[in-house]
Amino acid sequence: MVAIQEPLSALLAILLLLYLMKRWWSHQRYPPGPLSLPIIGGLWRIRFGIGLNERTINKMSKQYGNVYTLWLGDMPIVLLSGFETVKEGLIGHSEELSGKGSSPYVTFIKRGKGITFSNGDLWKQQRRFAVVTMRKLGTGRKSMESQIEVDAQKLVEIFACEKGQPFDPALPIINSVSNVTCNMLFGHRFPLEDENFKELVDSIEFITKFGGSLGHILFELFPWIMKRLPGPHMKVLERTKIMLSLGKKEILKHKEELSSHEPQDFIDYYLLHIEKKKDPTSTFDEDSLDDCISDLFIAGTHVSALFMQWAILLLTNRPDIQDKIIKEIDDVLGSSSICYEDHKQLPYTNAVFHEIMRYRFVVFMGIGRQTTKDVNIGRYFIPKETVVIPDMYDIFYDPQHWETPEEFNPNHFLDKDGNFITRKEFLLFGAGARACLGEHMGRMQHFLFLTSLLKAFHLQLPPGVKELSEETVVGMFLTPKPHKICAVPRESSS
Ligand SMILES: *[C@@H]1O[C@H](CO)[C@@H](O)[C@H](O)[C@H]1NC(C)=O
């Protein structure tokens, strides 16, 4: 027995050694980072995603530098932090970083034909089409701005219905923001109590909270086991189907009605485009349309609604800032109504809105990209097809760039004479080839919604509450904890 066992264990020892050497060798190609152990990689460093928040990630850059690799099992993820490094990556190497990584999880939920998760020609064509179409829709007869004004007034009415009593503003905000997006995509809006709408909102919330959770990480590590087990990832699959089936229903409805009128919304334009582009290389079909709808809906609604929720929460905790905004609006514009162009005359208001974005940057990990070729960033070599994630939190909380990074301070965006200043750090807001499609629409919407609400109400804490928690719940995005506010009507004398 002993005689057989010994060569066997010697063989095993040699195999193990070879395996470890091979691993070590392949890891050497990537920038250094937390020690990568077999199977789990560097996940021990982020405690397997449990209690993961924006600060956990930030601590790593202090330890490992501005370019480092975190191994998700066998998958390398390169993190960029620090303004200069992120700028070099996103702007300097925009083309090389224009890919979008697939992962076992993305493949599992079968997304990848729209804009967010697509690559190469497919992505280029879809994105170009979306940009052009959104421009068309924005400048048409029913301009986007006047549509947004209608939605802003609706939101004010809904807040007014609460008669100053405590209520949770989350659902009305989501509904209102989604009305803007739905109007553009579908040509109609959803009533607050619509079942399809509620289902859609629940689904998106579930899907985005799953991102970055332990369940998600386990799935990326052990896809072949997880696919066979029940768990939240199965629910995500179901929820994704719900989201896509809603899109399918809309597409069908639009197809039936399209011949009877001029194109009016995104789906109309897309369907016409499918007709026109019947060549075999075309990437336009109903499946990609459905994926585009989901992508635009998540980007346009979820992210925008989170910004609005943070804005209202942060301002409710800071009545003095609300008063200053109102005073500025009264002084500059008097009682005339506000349009987006006015933001240029309202430096303080504009600074506060930017500070909200800095202080609680919803997409705290930036948007992950994949390298389309080998690339060098700083002193580091990053091979083709590596996932690269910019750490936006690090940039927005860097004491070298901001006077009081931990504190909410509108002066970050004002010079000493009270003029608004653009901060170069903000150019990174989705810079490069993957920049945010709806940035202009988003800014317009935030400005008009918030000024309309502040003109109509004092946002106040519910009686007996000292302060709303500004802690974050982390998933794919930074979400505030559930909370209630009171919207007390301002004196109608002004
Ligand atoms: C969204 O639009 C629907 C339909 O016009 C309307 O009933 C609802 O009140 C709107 N919601 C908000 C929050 O504006």
Q: Chunk the chain into consecutive blocks of 10 residues (it has 494) and report each block's average pLDDT, rounded to whole numbers.
A: 70 87 84 82 74 73 86 86 88 83 73 67 81 76 79 96 96 91 88 88 85 81 86 87 88 86 88 82 84 82 91 97 95 87 94 94 76 89 89 87 94 95 76 63 90 95 96 83 95 53
Six token digits for residue 208: 């985005």
Q: 188 CA distance to ligand 1 centroid (A)? A: 10
**Which of 147, 175, 185 to probe ligand 1 with, by most ligand atoms within 8 A of CB?**
175
* 99-148 residue pLDDT tens: 776 677 777 776 667 666 676 777 778 888 888 888 888 765 457 888 89
CA 397, chain centre distance (Å): 18
- The ligand 1 atom at the shortest distance from the C-alpha of residue 178 is 1
Ligand 1 atom closest to 151 (CA): 14
If you take atom 11 of ligand 1, which residue's CA is the nearest one? 176
Give residue-wise pLDDT tens across range 186-201.
988 889 889 988 888 8
Residue 324 lies in a domain: yes
Supply the CATH number for residue 218's domain: 1.10.630.10
Q: Can you give the residue range of the structural domain that contains 464?
A: 82-493
**Residue 358 belongs to a domain:** yes
Residue 96 covered by a domain? yes
* Domain assignment present for 387: yes
Is the distance from the beta carbon of residue 154 to the nearest atom of ligand 1 less than 6 Å?
yes
Q: Which atom of ligand 1 is nearest to the CA of 157?
A: 14
Taking alpha carbons only, the member of 363, 427, 443, 396 closest to residue 91 is 427
pLDDT tens-digit map of 401-419? 999 999 999 999 999 999 9
Of 150, 153, 157, 176, the one to substitute when testing ligand 1's pocket (max ligand atoms within 8 A of C-beta) is 176
Q: How many domains does the chain have?
A: 1
Q: Using CA positions, which residue lies closest to atom 13 of ligand 1? A: 176
- The identity of residue 145, as a single letter, is E
Q: What is the pTM of this model?
A: 0.87
Q: Is residue 16 part of a domain?
A: no
Q: Is residue 49 part of a domain?
A: no
Mutation probe of ligand 1 site: the residue of 149, 154, 174 with most atoms within 8 A of C-beta: 154
Pick the residue whose CA is nearest to atom 10 on ligand 1.
191
Check if the beta carbon of residue 119 is closer than 8 Å to that of residue 99.
yes
Residue 448 pLDDT: 94
The answer to the question of residue 11 being in a domain is no
The answer to whether residue 325 is domain-embedded is yes
